[in-house]
Amino acid sequence: MKKNIAIIMGGYSSEYNISIKSGNVVYKYLDKEKFNAYRIIISKEKWVYLDNDENETIVNRHDFSIKFQNRILRFDCVFNAIHGSPGEDGLMQAYFALLEIPQTSCGHYQAALTFNKRDLLSTLKPYGIKAANSYYLNLGDTIDHPAIVEKVGLPCFVKANKAGSSFGISKVYEKKDLQAAIDKAFLEDDEIIIESFLSGIEVSVGVITFKGKTMVLPLTEIVTDNDFFDYEAKYEGKSKEITPARLTKTQEDNVRHQAKKAYDVLKMTGFSRSEFIFIGNEPCMLEMNTTPGLTEESILPQQAGKAGISLPELFENAINEALK
């Protein structure tokens, strides 16, 4: 019997539209011979099932069911395509864990931890995974500009601690511009991470569970015309993504080892995409995304393609792993 799959998309963050794109790609490529796929739009205003004629049906949040063709439809598995909150920060994962509905992303603890850049990097540090020097600020803290510059140097990056798609990020060259960057980051989040600028090759590393094993996908090198890999570079064609990345054998071995180690140490499941910058041969981790973009142009699907995994195969595997 075909399994009923809910593809959740949308969410509560600035990444809503990107998530809708990802979810629609999953819907398009999921094998309809094997699965009954349903698009579920999650927004602050409502949770609804969207049919092919764009008609909406309210989702019952008590048991995540919908009334469909005069019967109650329940789901065997949820395919999570929500970037940002509540799909990437652990809220949906915990909700489905309580309802005992399998879902394709990592567990709620892993999602909450990886969504918090500061906590993620602190957790991985004892395992030998390096990161840039950083300075933390919470909304309401006294802001000591000289202390920040002394700790991280200039130029530096000011980032929202819990936001994706490069929202709320600035590269700061002079101390006088620091406050404006801090104010911008606080618009996205009440916590900030300020990091030293690392000058080196940037790579994106997809790690997934494929047929029961941790698999590191071909690496992608990020080369941007912009000052850094910002929103424009990611989504408006202002960057080149080169897969496989142009690395030495030592660099490639080191970053593959670190990405796999991070995935395994955290007991990750599902998709992940981690960003690293090389200082010489040593990769420094920037962050880990646990619901990375899944459009045809997105990095993880490109990497899977290079590994010989088609989109229908990639998505079917994620569901099979969740149903185990």
Q: How confident is the prediction along the chain (324 residues), in pLDDT tens digits per residue?
A: 999 999 999 999 989 999 999 999 999 999 999 999 999 999 999 999 999 999 999 999 999 999 988 999 999 999 999 999 999 999 999 999 999 999 999 999 999 999 999 999 999 999 999 999 999 999 999 999 999 999 999 999 999 998 754 678 999 999 999 999 999 999 989 999 999 999 999 999 999 999 999 999 999 999 977 665 555 545 555 678 999 999 999 999 999 999 999 999 999 999 999 999 999 999 999 999 999 999 999 999 999 999 999 999 999 999 999 999
DSSP states of 165-179: TTTT-EEE-SGGGHH
What are the φ and ψ backbone dihedral angles of 141, each rounded to 5 degrees? -65, 150
* pLDDT score of 228: 55
Distance, in Å, from the CA atom of 314 to the CA atom of 30, rounded to the nearest integer, reads 9
CA dihedral defined by 198, 133, 165, 277, rounded to 10 degrees? 40
Q: What is the pTM of this model?
A: 0.92
Query: Within the chain, where are the H helices?
Result: 16-29, 91-99, 108-115, 117-124, 145-152, 178-188, 231-235, 249-265, 299-306, 311-323
Local structure of residue 49 (DSSP, 8 states): E
SS3 35: strand
**By the 8 A CB rule, do 240 and 246 touch?**
no
The residues with which 84 forms a beta bridge, in sequence order, are none
Residue reference for tokens 């049919």: 51
